Structure 1
Amino acid sequence: IMELGDNRVNVVFNINEGGRTQIAAINFVGNSAYSSRRLSDVIATKRSSWLSFVLRDDVYDEDKLRADQELLRRFYYNHGYADFQVVSAVGELDDTTNKYTVTITVQEGDRYTFGDVSVESTIPEVDSKALESVVETHKGDVYNAKDVEDSIIALTEKVAGSGYAFAQVTPRGDRNFENHTISVVYTIDQGTKAYIERIEIRGNDRTRDYVIRREFDVSEGDAFNQVLIQRAKKRLEALNYFDKVDISTVPGSQPDQVVLVVDVVEKSTGEFSVGAGYSTGGETAGPSVEGSITERNFLGRGQYIKIAAGGGKNSRDYSFSFTEPYFLGRRIAAGFDVFQQTRNYDHYDSETLGATVRFGLPITDNISTQLAYNIAQEKYKLDSGCDDSPQDGIPDADCDISAAIVQGIDESPWIKSSVSLGLTYNTIDDMKNPHEGIYANVTTEVAGLGGDAKFVKVTGRGSVYQTLSEQLDLVGLISGGAGHIEGYGDDGLRIFDHFQSSDRMIRGFAYGGIGPVATGTSGDHLGGTTYFNASAEAQFPLPVIPESFGLRGAVFADAATLYGSKVDTALVDQSTTDMKLRASVGVGLMWASPFGPIRIDYAVPVKKQPTDDVQEFNFGIATRF
């Protein structure tokens, strides 16, 4: 305190921050079903590494450690270990190194499966047998607490929809310690009649009230239902607008009324990012840079907006996206995208200017659909190296380009107006580090609502993840895909609408490196009308390297075929249009970097055709979904 006279003082705080603490090690004690490396993936606290200055995930915090304990409980409960307990979780600071050692002691218990599963009701008008079809727990399945929660929600909604708004569903578990099963009885009772008098929202300085209220399936005057309240809490947390969401109740003005109090702590939802990358294949091979501005909660209205620009040696991309997640007050995501793309190929260039209007609708928690209208204008021209002078659209004598591609260029500019409908099924447990679940997508696109393009295109892709060894953290992946495009009308199918192969179809081959080939000496691959592909892969942690680095290895085998052509028969080598299988095997290195998932693959073709283009090494920012 510094005296200033005249009854005034200055208060000075001298702060010695000291050095920044780190986490030297995270040790798990008592775990046998899962390795320490696997459990480290589950919790949010991470061991310090050279990336910690970017991720800031190595900060020791007791509240964070308590949240990690809950993450561990949910992980074990969802994998059959109903008796799991966290015995202790402590962090010890070494003053000499200024580093913490975190030790988490657990008691796993035995693994259970579901025994008999039944539904009982004390409400005479409710048919318990008819409700068994909505239960998601089944006899013989591994015990899963999330399936129990989902069953409670499904039963509650079903009964409430039948006119029993105050019904309560209570699960009762009966453990059999000898055969390690848990029999579950869902009991439906007529709960205490209570109504929601009002919903008070606090802490939302930026987010508007209605953005929070619309996540509730109940409103003022409705019957109070704890299950629906907890589901609203999960929805609010999933928005990623808030650091913390708490929902509590206080007595209302009448004995049968309650007041819901929603306390939120807002967080930053805007992002400005600048990145650089490198890819060895695809339309944008080579080095690239990208900058974007993203706002997930635009003006506090819950709207998503993104402006992005990027480019590389042979590409330029500009885009603007907007999404309203609750169109017309319903849980329908409506939005639009506007984009411009330029590409420089070996002998020609392309420019695409287009827009998409889309509507997304969740059907269930795992199934969603998207309807979109797409319109784009595509322009193609020979580059200066192929049409130097007088740039009349006729390739120079020394330009080795196929007549089929020249014919496609002559047909531009080309307007494509289409409608697409997609269906997605997703049960993946963790999109960043998947271990279990299914991701499948089927899309149909019909072009011909005006414009020049007239075709029907159907594509599908599915991936199944399954943990093969809990102790070794070994994950298996089986994926497959297929597609077919068929033109109609007088103009038929142009060359640029054919499918091109890529590393998502088969690794070990160059982009556009398999399938029908043009006649002549150019060797240009023209794409195909039909493809099938399949892949089997095993993913595993790398020994010695700390799990905080986010590195994993993979071994894989791919197979694919691309065939069929609607190009003029005189311009395509007919011997290359038949269905012929290609196959490759290889190894991969995956890194969950702060800049996105980075993957390096080395694949060797074991079955190929003489006209195929091989590319054994592949590097890029990508995911296998």
Structure 2
Amino acid sequence: MKAGSKFLNAVSAVALSAGVVASGAGAVTFVSATAAEAAVIQRIDVRGASRVGAEAVRSNLTITPGKSFSNTDIDNSVKQLYGTGYFSDVKISVSGGTLVVNVQEAQLVNQVVFNGNRKIKDDKLATIVQTHAAGPYSDTQIQSDIQAIKDAYAATGRSEVEVTTQVVPLGEGRVNLAFVINEGDRTKIDSINFVGNNAYSAGRLAAVINTKRSNFLSFLTRKDVYNEDKLHADEEALRQFYYNRGYADMRIVSSDASFDEATNKYTLTFNIEEGQRYDFGPVTVQSTVEGVGSDQLLPLVRTKEGHVYSAKEVQKSIEAISDQVASAGYPFARVTPRGNRDLNNNTIGVEYLVDQGERAYVERIEIRGNSRTRDYVIRREFDMSEGDAFNQQMITKAKRRLEALGYFSSVNISTQPGSSPDRVVVVVDVQDQSTGSFGVGAGYAAGGDGLLLEASIEEKNFLGRGQYIRISAGGGQEGSRAYGVSFTEPYFLGYRLAAGFDVNHSETSSNDNYDYEETSVVLRVTAPITEDLATTFRYNYKQMKYDADNSDLSDLSAPYQHLVEDSPWTRSSVSQTLTYNTLDDTVLPREGIYATATQEIAGLGGDSQFYKIYGKARYYHLLADDADIIGSVSASAGYVVGFGEHLNVFDQFTLTNGDIRGFENKGIGPRVRGDNDDPLGGTTYFTASAEATFPMPGFPRDFNLRGAVFADAGTLFGNDVDLRGDGIEGEDASLRASVGVGVVWQSPFGSLRLDYAIPVLKEDFDKTQNFKFGINNQF
């Protein structure tokens, strides 16, 4: 008999004979259910609870000896006992002054095992199922576990997986449970079609959605996995793409997934109706909030008449207005945009209506779907908590923050009515995704360490706590080695402060003249100023050792002889960095600015005393939307001044082959004159770069292979190092420049880039390097 039927039978039995009382010389008379409303029992007799124990049964009853109870109490007690999962049958009756509770214990699971699984390991499946060792055996729960296993396999593209169970009785009410899994073949995406798209090509739209066609590397990316949730997410991505480019009437007529059993492949088809492209018409603000005038709010609006209509800019305007009104003391204020279409001119005028709004409070925030990420990691991205005023713009902002974390493949926030009209339940549905990555970097240093390799592993959501950790190690052909560890706690002491540390150690050799060893420790804390602007404070400590290894120091220039003879050296400094970031995407930005500016003071002990200021900014802009040609320009500069007599060699700036391609690391700038031409660095530098990237012709867009053309220019000059009698060259501000081409592949292994640069402006003593190669891998 099923548990539900047993429960109904038990309730029926209770309803018919709710209680008994003594009558005469031991005679028993059944009383009606109404009489049971005033029944009182003196003791509770538990029968059948050999493993669970009588006291555990009593603790799950709502009936207490000496207190009156009703049929409702009996119903609730039966439900509560069934709810524990430890009983397959429950019956409650009253005999005289005794409440008799008869239970039949469910079987206990001794062990849970998984058979036939190769693509998903046991430890991962164990976190998916809810049936565990020492827990009750429940047919209902096991069916739910089977579906959970199927869903997990469907997420990897194996939607045809079959899951059955085997139960082995062990006696004394114990069983072993085995989930038997036939994984089946992985389904694939044969093609993705778009119908009705005129403004944008199928290739451009294919780059917008997350689902990709199958290729020979799809087993690494898993982006060719079909499921309904991903299809809906792709639909929303297409809508936002069009809405932010002026197509406010765009709609997806249909989206279809056709499965071919013969090939085990899906064909996806999106039927699109684009509509007309709009610009912004007149933009106004109307406020009915006392003390907050429309003229105060209009400057906050991001939407400007004549610009291309963008739903994203409307949303940012709403948030800016809402924040301003809330800071003025109106937390319930509501901002409602009203669009006025002018079909003759293809414009949409926007009127922002600001009113007091209805008073509503957050009853609770309910989080669902996070199998790995802790609840508090999600809650802390909200600027409100239970009991606070409800504000829809705070919900929108929290959703954007959660998506920006990179912990989740999907984030959906909805609201439900609370226990009263002025109470709202906020429901957060998320789906965890892989947040680990590994990196491999490679390079070649002519005349130095030869081939250089570095490997790293990082985790952005360590143990589901939202913490960041990175470990790296590398080396070169000539015995160079490098190690590093980084850790960041994004909410230090419960505040929105990202605190962390970096520890690095490296060992290199220079032309067999000396060995160099460096150890650095950085303590840092980052605080947000606005959504786009943040500041970071650091304490930096570095120790530098130069070892001639019994070599003849006469082979070194005088400044470097000084470094070796007085080694080791230490530097202790504090620095502050401002970071401005409006990039639309961290992997392949198409629009936005990323800029940093740093000032550093050294002299808190150690051998260095200086003030440095330096920074870099890069601006991205989509030059041709449908062709997906992305342009970017960047500029950087720096200046250092010493507090003492001279700067140390290691305190001056040096430029890398990433600053001006076509030159080696430390390849330009002031050098010691002579055969050894040791680099000295410089006190001042400027660089500028322009680049355009585009989809590589002849390759499918979703292969993510892009070409690049670029031009770099810059200079490094000035010197404050004690030359100790040696001469110097390259001290002036002569301009260096290079042009080149590159290939960028956003591969399943990460972003791989190969550049070939030709210096077009250089000095005779500069060190050039035409090829540059690097990889940053993610999984």
Structure 2 length normalisation: TM-score? 0.73
Distance 1:371 1:4, change over 3 A: closer
Deviates more, 1:529-538 or 1:84-93: 84-93
Report what 1:332 is aligned to.
497
Please state if 1:352 is matched with 2:518.
yes
Deviates more, 1:252-261 or 1:108-117: 252-261
Distance 1:556 1:53, change over 3 A: same
Correspondence for 1:543 among 679, 697, 708: 697
- Using the alignment, how far apart are the partners of 1:562 and 1:22 within structure 2? 53
Report what 2:126 is aligned to.
none
Please state if 1:233 is matched with 2:417.
no
Q: What SS does structure 1 have at the residue aligned with 2:553?
A: coil
- Using the alignment, how far apart are the partners of 1:104 and 1:439 within structure 2? 34
Deviates more, 1:369-378 or 1:84-93: 84-93
Q: How far off is 1:532 after superposition?
A: 0.9
Report what 2:486 is aligned to.
321
Report what 2:310 is aligned to.
144
Q: What SS does structure 1 have at the residue aligned with 2:672?
A: coil
State how 1:167-316 maps to structure 2 within 5 Å: 167-202=333-368, 207-266=373-432, 271=436, 273=438, 276-281=440-445, 286-292=451-457, 294=459, 296-298=461-463, 300-313=464-477, 314-316=479-481
Amino acid at match of 1:437: G
Q: Deviations over 1:475-534 (max 9, x none)?
A: 1111111111111124x2111222222222211122211111212222333221111111
Q: Deviations over 1:100-157 (max 9, x none)?
A: 3322232323332222211101234321111112222222222211111111111112
Q: How far off is 1:345 after superposition?
A: 2.6
Q: Report if the CA contact (8 A) 1:137-1:147 is conserved.
A: yes
Correspondence for 2:713 among 556, 559, 563: 559
Report what 2:265 is aligned to.
99
Q: Report if the CA contact (8 A) 1:23-1:48 is conserved.
A: yes
Report what 2:299 is aligned to.
133
Q: Report if the CA contact (8 A) 1:241-1:297 is conserved.
A: no
State how 1:5-154 maps to structure 2 within 5 Å: 18-154=184-320
Report what 1:621 is aligned to.
775
Q: What SS does structure 1 have at the residue aligned with 2:323?
A: helix
- Using the alignment, how far apart are the partners of 1:569 and 1:340 within structure 2? 28
Distance 1:589 1:207, change over 3 A: closer
Report what 1:342 is aligned to.
507
Q: How far off is 1:182 after superposition?
A: 1.5
Correspondence for 1:447 among 602, 609, 612: 602
Q: Report if the CA contact (8 A) 1:517-1:572 is conserved.
A: no
Q: Deviations over 1:405-442 (max 9, x none)?
A: 22222232111111111111111111211211111111
Report what 1:381 is aligned to.
547
Please state if 1:520 is matched with 2:520.
no
Amino acid at match of 1:464: Y
Report what 2:588 is aligned to.
433
Q: Report if the CA contact (8 A) 1:35-1:473 is conserved.
A: no
Please state if 1:395 is matched with 2:520.
no
Distance 1:509 1:305, change over 3 A: closer
Q: Report if the CA contact (8 A) 1:563-1:578 is conserved.
A: yes
Unaligned runs of 5+ in 2: 1-163, 170-174
Deviates more, 1:474-483 or 1:498-507: 498-507
- Using the alignment, how far apart are the partners of 1:103 and 1:342 within structure 2? 56
Q: What SS does structure 2 have at the residue aligned with 1:335?
A: strand
- Using the alignment, how far apart are the partners of 1:281 and 1:83 within structure 2? 55
Report what 1:497 is aligned to.
651
Backbone CA RMSD of aligned residues: 3.0
Distance 1:564 1:128, change over 3 A: same
Q: What SS does structure 2 have at the residue aligned with 1:553?
A: strand
- Using the alignment, how far apart are the partners of 2:474 and 2:595 within structure 1? 29
Q: What SS does structure 1 have at the residue aligned with 2:377?
A: helix
Q: What SS does structure 1 have at the residue aligned with 2:253?
A: strand
Distance 1:528 1:500, change over 3 A: same
Q: What SS does structure 2 have at the residue aligned with 1:157?
A: helix
- Using the alignment, how far apart are the partners of 1:4 and 1:195 within structure 2? 52
- Using the alignment, how far apart are the partners of 2:640 and 2:427 within structure 1? 54
- Using the alignment, how far apart are the partners of 2:488 and 2:525 within structure 1? 9
Q: Report if the CA contact (8 A) 2:413-2:429 is conserved.
A: yes
Larger Rg belongs to: 2
Correspondence for 1:530 among 684, 687, 701: 684
- Using the alignment, how far apart are the partners of 1:571 and 1:415 within structure 2? 25
Report what 1:391 is aligned to.
none
Q: Which has the higher contact order (CA 8 A, sep 6+)?
A: 1
Deviates more, 1:325-334 or 1:555-564: 325-334
Deviates more, 1:423-432 or 1:199-208: 199-208
Correspondence for 1:364 among 498, 516, 530: 530
Q: How far off is 1:360 after superposition?
A: 0.6
Please state if 1:580 is matched with 2:734.
yes
Distance 1:175 1:520, change over 3 A: same
Q: What SS does structure 2 have at the residue aligned with 1:506?
A: coil
Report what 1:482 is aligned to.
637
Q: Percent identity?
A: 53
Q: Report if the CA contact (8 A) 2:203-2:702 is conserved.
A: no
Q: Report if the CA contact (8 A) 2:557-2:726 is conserved.
A: no
- Using the alignment, how far apart are the partners of 1:253 and 1:109 within structure 2? 42
Q: How far off is 1:312 after superposition?
A: 3.4
Distance 1:379 1:368, change over 3 A: same
Q: Report if the CA contact (8 A) 1:276-1:287 is conserved.
A: no
Distance 1:85 1:573, change over 3 A: farther
Distance 1:245 1:596, change over 3 A: closer
- Using the alignment, how far apart are the partners of 1:253 and 1:30 within structure 2? 46
- Using the alignment, how far apart are the partners of 2:587 and 2:434 within structure 1? 21
Amino acid at match of 2:301: V
State how 1:406-425 maps to structure 2 within 5 Å: 406-425=561-580
Report what 1:155 is aligned to.
321
- Using the alignment, how far apart are the partners of 1:53 and 1:3 within structure 2? 34
Distance 1:487 1:220, change over 3 A: same
Q: How far off is 1:97 after superposition?
A: 3.2
Q: What SS does structure 1 have at the residue aligned with 2:483?
A: strand
Distance 1:264 1:91, change over 3 A: closer
Amino acid at match of 1:415: T
Amino acid at match of 1:528: G
